């Protein structure tokens, strides 16, 4: 929509990075502010998206695919010219290490390009004619309407664009709300959105999600809810649409991915992969390994080596070279991590690594907690932070049971050097989760692969071609075959 100066109330945006005040307190640095109480403006943004879509008759949904791709390429070129500002804001707003913030930006650009390429293929394959029983059918992928996109704070740019880009390319118009942490980083892109797309096609809204988003859904004018966040929030939001069966939901939700480490596993390899899998960006990844299930015969060497490697991780500020563990953006997060560890300790577990679980301001030193048992919060709760629960097993059935009985169904990792053993496990597991990783951590990428989950972990599939399909519907034009049109 239109770019307006905001003179209403604001919420301040604070970095997870703290400074020590003169009286010795640690205080989070203020980075800027975003509008609050902007519900009316959010509704105007939705109206702009509705008008630009115009029940499928608007300029954007009726443009050719080549024209829409042209707009997106223009946007991408402008976005690349603002790389440094966006990366700096990712670093400061969510405390993501600089190298990972750069990776997030570059990966997003790659994702846009891959989606454009996939769309060209999809478009070509859809423009073919099929003749069945005297009817000539031309299948076309058509848009769904107005899409409300919301990404999470851990990948504020990448995961917002993971839905926004395919939604736009398929001819939908979009309203998007940046995450609570990771809102300022969209400022450098506003001009690019404005100049690359026709008016009303992309609209950014601010304000508190708990107030603004229900207001938008209540109108019944949102056709697709595209949310990467928690299943609790998704369940709540879906019910707010007055006609719930008219709302399509594309959701990336909670996960508690486990690694099953078998007695014949290469322990060094398992340690290396599990370290990346559990603690990259402080474990704040939906795909992170959030439970390590290790065969009792190797649990001691595994814990010793894993703890040694955790001890080598560099704890510090996100701009420092080689840093791994950085300040946590969510208020009260260190307290929550401590509470999870204390709960496990009270029920018989211990922190096995030196300094594990110590806190300094918004920094939480990773804690490796062993042995985890049913009944401890860490057994099922998604910690989404730098706590690594480890559970021993004797019978493989017990490890499989953990995955099978989970409310989540995103991914699992298996570590074994016996291909036959791995082969026997893959079939039952791939029917429980949507990706089985062999001798490697869980992860979303490469981003062209389908990304989804079962049970409470997802609805719909993301990643390039799948996402283009998710944000469109197969419509068709049918013509009766006659002697005149037969050839
Ligand atoms: O938080 C969820 C992200 O999509 C995970 O992506 O596996 O590449 O870190 P990643």
Residue by residue, DSSP assigns 301-332 as HHHHHHHHHHHHSPBS-TTSTT--B----STT
Q: Which mean pLDDT values do the consecutive 10-residue runs of the chain (487 residues) have?
A: 78 95 93 90 96 98 96 98 98 98 98 96 76 91 97 98 98 96 96 97 91 95 97 95 93 98 98 98 98 98 98 98 97 97 98 97 98 98 98 96 97 97 93 97 94 96 94 94 82
Report DSSP state, residue 192.
Answer: H
Q: Other CB atoms closer than 10 Å to residue 322's CB: what's the count?
A: 9
Looking from the CA of residue 280, the nearest atom of ligand 1 is 9
**C-alpha span between 355 and 329 (Å, rounded):** 21
Looking from the CA of residue 442, the nearest atom of ligand 1 is 7
Distance 229 CA to ligand 1 centre (A): 12
Taking CA atoms only, the protein residue closest to ligand 1 atom 4 is 444
Contact in structure between 185 and 156 (CB atoms under 8 Å)? yes
Distance 69 CA to ligand 1 centre (A): 26
Taking CA atoms only, the protein residue closest to ligand 1 atom 7 is 443
**Closest C-alpha among 47, 118, 109, 108 to residue 472:** 118
Q: Alpha helices, DSSP H only, in 313-413?
A: 333-346, 377-380, 396-404
Residue 483 confidence (pLDDT): 87
Taking CA atoms only, the protein residue closest to ligand 1 atom 8 is 444
Residue 126 confidence (pLDDT): 64
Distance 158 CA to ligand 1 centre (A): 9
Distance 287 CA to ligand 1 centre (A): 5
How far from the centroid of its chain's Cα atoms is residue 374's Cα?
Answer: 28
Residue 123 confidence (pLDDT): 73
User: Can you tell me which residue has the tokens 């049109």?
Assistant: 485
**Closest C-alpha among 162, 186, 184 to residue 108:** 162
Ligand 1 binding pocket, CB closer than 6 Å: 154-155, 159, 285-287, 443-445
Looking from the CA of residue 159, the nearest atom of ligand 1 is 4
- Would strands 350-351 and 367-370 be described as parallel, antiparallel, or unpaired? antiparallel
Report DSSP state, residue 185.
Answer: G
Taking CA atoms only, the protein residue closest to ligand 1 atom 2 is 286
Residue among 273, 276, 285, 447 whose CB has most ligand 1 atoms within 8 A, to mutate: 285
User: Taking the complete model, does pTM exceed 0.80, yes or no?
Assistant: yes
Distance 84 CA to ligand 1 centre (A): 22
Residue 127 confidence (pLDDT): 65
**C-alpha span between 250 and 460 (Å, rounded):** 5
Region of 32 (left: φ > 0; alpha: ψ -120 to 50; beta: rest) is left
Distance 154 CA to ligand 1 centre (A): 9
Distance 409 CA to ligand 1 centre (A): 15
Contact in structure between 366 and 277 (CB atoms under 8 Å)? no
Looking from the CA of residue 107, the nearest atom of ligand 1 is 8
**Closest C-alpha among 99, 107, 105 to residue 323:** 99
Which own/partner pairs from 178-182 qualify as long-range (CB within 8 Å, at least 24 positions apart)? 178/151, 178/204, 178/206, 179/150, 179/151, 179/152, 179/153, 180/153, 180/209, 181/13, 181/16, 181/93, 181/94, 181/153, 181/156, 181/329, 181/330, 182/90, 182/93, 182/94, 182/151, 182/153, 182/156, 182/157
Distance 222 CA to ligand 1 centre (A): 27
Question: What's the complex ipTM?
Answer: 0.96
């Amino acid at each position: 929509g239109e770019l307006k100066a905001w003179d209403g109330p604001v919420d301040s945006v604070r970095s997870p990075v703290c400074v020590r005040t003169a009286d010795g307190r640690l205080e989070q640095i203020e980075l800027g502010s975003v509008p609050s109480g902007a519900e009316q403006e959010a509704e105007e943004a939705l109206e702009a998206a509705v008008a630009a879509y115009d029940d499928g008759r608007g300029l954007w949904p009726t443009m050719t695919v080549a024209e829409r791709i042209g707009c997106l390429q223009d946007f991408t070129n402008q976005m690349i010219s603002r790389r440094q500002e966006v990366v700096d804001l990712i670093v400061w707003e969510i405390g993501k290490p600089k190298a990972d913030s750069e990776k997030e930006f570059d990966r997003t650009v790659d994702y846009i390009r891959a989606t454009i390429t996939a769309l060209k293929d999809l478009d070509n394959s859809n423009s073919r004619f099929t003749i069945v029983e005297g009817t000539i059918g031309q299948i076309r992928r058509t848009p769904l309407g107005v899409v409300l996109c919301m990404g999470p704070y851990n990948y504020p740019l990448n995961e917002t664009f993971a839905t926004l880009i395919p939604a736009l390319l398929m001819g939908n118009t979009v309203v998007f709300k940046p995450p609570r942490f990771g809102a300022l980083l969209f400022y450098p892109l506003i001009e690019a959105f404005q100049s690359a797309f026709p008016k009303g096609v992309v609209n950014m809204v601010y304000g508190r999600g708990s107030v603004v988003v229900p207001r938008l859904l209540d109108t019944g004018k949102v056709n697709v809810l595209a949310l990467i966040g928690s299943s609790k929030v998704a369940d709540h939001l879906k019910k707010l649409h007055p006609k719930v069966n008219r709302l399509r939901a594309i959701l990336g939700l909670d996960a508690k991915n486990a690694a099953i480490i078998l007695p014949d596993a290469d322990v060094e390899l398992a340690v290396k992969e599990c370290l990346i899998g559990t603690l990259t960006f402080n474990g704040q990844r939906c795909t992170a390994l959030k439970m390590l299930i290790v065969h009792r015969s190797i649990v001691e060497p595994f814990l010793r080596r894993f703890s040694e490697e955790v001890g080598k991780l560099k704890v510090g500020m996100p701009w420092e070279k080689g840093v791994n563990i950085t300040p946590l953006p969510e208020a009260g997060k260190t307290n929550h991590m401590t509470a999870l560890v204390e709960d496990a300790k009270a029920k018989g577990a211990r922190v096995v690594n030196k300094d594990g679980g110590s806190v300094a301001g918004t920094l939480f030193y990773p804690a490796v907690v062993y042995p985890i048992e049913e009944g401890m919060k860490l057994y099922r709760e998604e910690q989404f932070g730098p706590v690594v629960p480890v559970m021993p097993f004797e019978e493989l059935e017990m490890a499989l049971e953990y995955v099978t009985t989970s409310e989540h169904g995103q991914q699992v990792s298996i570590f074994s050097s016996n291909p036959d053993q791995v082969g026997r496990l893959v079939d039952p597991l791939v029917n429980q989760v949507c990706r089985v990783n062999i001798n490697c951590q869980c992860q979303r990428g490469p981003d062209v692969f389908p990304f989804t989950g079962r049970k409470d972990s997802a609805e719909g599939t993301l990643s390039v071609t799948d996402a283009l399909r998710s944000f469109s519907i197969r419509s068709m034009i049918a013509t009766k075959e006659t002697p005149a049109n037969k050839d």
